[in-house]
Amino acid sequence: MDRILELLRENSRLTNKEIANRLGLAEADVAFRVAELEKAGTILGYHAVIDQEKIGKRGVTAFIEVKVTPESGGGFDRFARRVSQYEQVRGCYLMSGGYDLIVVVEGADLYDVARFVAEKLSTLDVVLSTATHFQLRTYKHDGFLLNTPSTEGPLPVSP
């Protein structure tokens, strides 16, 4: 992976000057490379990783396993693009294993997610089955530890 991308992935608030200093490059070269990556769609955006519990957010996140009938000529792509358009969908991934896709959905509450599954997802012709799993707590997100009290050393491990 491009070293500039690695640094931005670790901390998207780094300035071009800071990146240039770390990599021994000219600031103008870094600015040009970042602009190229943005224009090419390699860098899609920048965001903050937020500890939702600390801001009192009480919504729910669900991971929905979806089995679908692949469409001729398009496989899973057309379905995945269609589902990804819903505002509740935070992520959509083609998976290996017992199901085809996993759809990450955010809702105000359990019923909001249930309505999404019943009224939008399950009604699509190619959907064979779904299984919904609700996130109970986040310990690590995008490389950041959350909601974890400090400990006095490693946890004991027993055989």
Question: Do 107 and 119 form a contact (C-beta atoms < 8 A)?
Answer: no
Within 85-137, residue ranges assigned H as helices are: 110-115
Backbone angles phi, psi at 116, to 5 degrees: -60, -45
Instruction: For the chain, list the domains and their CATH numbers.
Output: 3-39 (1.10.10), 52-137 (3.30.70.920)
Query: How much is the mean pLDDT over the chain?
Result: 90
Mean pLDDT of 111-120: 96
- For residue 57, pLDDT over 70 is answered with yes
Say yes or no to pLDDT of 148 above 80: no
Whole-number Å distance between alpha carbons of 7 and 62? 30
**Can you tell me the distance from the alpha carbon of 3 to that of 24, in angstroms, rounded to the nearest whole number?**
11
Q: Stretch 14-21: mean pLDDT, rounded?
A: 95
Work out the pLDDT band at 153, boundaries 50, 70, 90.
low
